[in-house]
Structure 1
Amino acid sequence: MKFDEDKIIQSTINRKQLKIRFSKNSNVYDSFTELEKKAFEEGNISKKHKELMALSISIVIKCEPCIEWHVQQAYLAGASDEEIFETIDVAIEMGGGPAAAYSRFALNALDFHKKQTKY
């Protein structure tokens, strides 16, 4: 588990540190982050459910930084462990064996963020 924690810690550090660099040097990064904010706003579908959808997609496309982010955001939006497991079930059905392997990373990310977050 230590390896996965290190990977998750590094992912969060990279996201925070490189955001400023991207913002200063990319022509599209800030527009993308605005798109992300709009896409995940509360609407007819709750932010929690949007984050769970994004988590499932992230697992299927095998994007560990996306998995880490959307696990955290789903958890912070109130997703229960059971809802996250059902989301993982959908990802496994849609993505097969590779999705099952990346789902383990999602569980490690959930455990990590639960330890980091104090309500």
Structure 2
Amino acid sequence: MDAFVKDKMNQSMNDRKQYHSRFLENCSTYNSFLELEKKAFEAGSLSRKHKELMALSISIVTKCEPCIEWHVQQACLTGASDKEIYETIDVALEMGGGPAAYSRFALNALDFYKKQA
């Protein structure tokens, strides 16, 4: 993994941590968003792992790098295998067409988190 990718991953994580408290203090909708996120990712008929994989696919299609980074990390933490992540990327590519080639960022995130383990 090159330094640019590693720096990008670290910057994404640092931004999330740094701005979390500012959002809590200043954005009236942020707590509601956190509650929505908590409820949406609770295990139910679908496991949390499957919900994280769904979110990863959506993140790829919408080209949201911070979302891709986050949902790859969360999918790994819930026990998603590399194969499950690759199949998730397959779905994103099919649903998103050419622009979903943005899934390369998901591979960078996967490599980054595998090295953290």
TM band (smaller chain): over 0.9
* Corresponding residue pairs, total: 116
Cα distance in 2 between the residues matched to 1:28 and 1:110: 31
Residue 82 of structure 1 is matched in structure 2 by 83
Cα distance in 2 between the residues matched to 1:94 and 1:4: 25
Question: Is there any run of 5+ residues in structure 2 with no aligned partner, and where?
Answer: none
Residue 104 of structure 2 is matched in structure 1 by 104
Residue 113 of structure 1 is matched in structure 2 by 113
Moved over 4 A (4+): none
Cα distance in 1 between the residues matched to 2:3 and 2:100: 22
Per-residue CA distance 1:62-107 (angstroms, 9 max, x = gap): 000000000000010000000000000000001111111x111101
Question: Is there any run of 5+ residues in structure 1 with no aligned partner, and where?
Answer: none
What amino acid sits opposite 1:13 in the alignment?
N
Cα distance in 1 between the residues matched to 2:90 and 2:98: 12
Identical pairs, percent: 73
What amino acid sits opposite 1:114 in the alignment?
K
CA-CA distance at 1:111 after TM superposition: 1.0
TM-score, normalised by the number of residues in structure 1? 0.95
Note the aligned Cα RMSD (angstroms).
0.7
Q: What secondary structure does 1:7 align onto?
A: helix
CA-CA distance at 1:115 after TM superposition: 1.5
Residue 57 of structure 1 is matched in structure 2 by 58
Cα distance in 1 between the residues matched to 2:78 and 2:49: 5
Cα distance in 2 between the residues matched to 1:41 and 1:107: 25
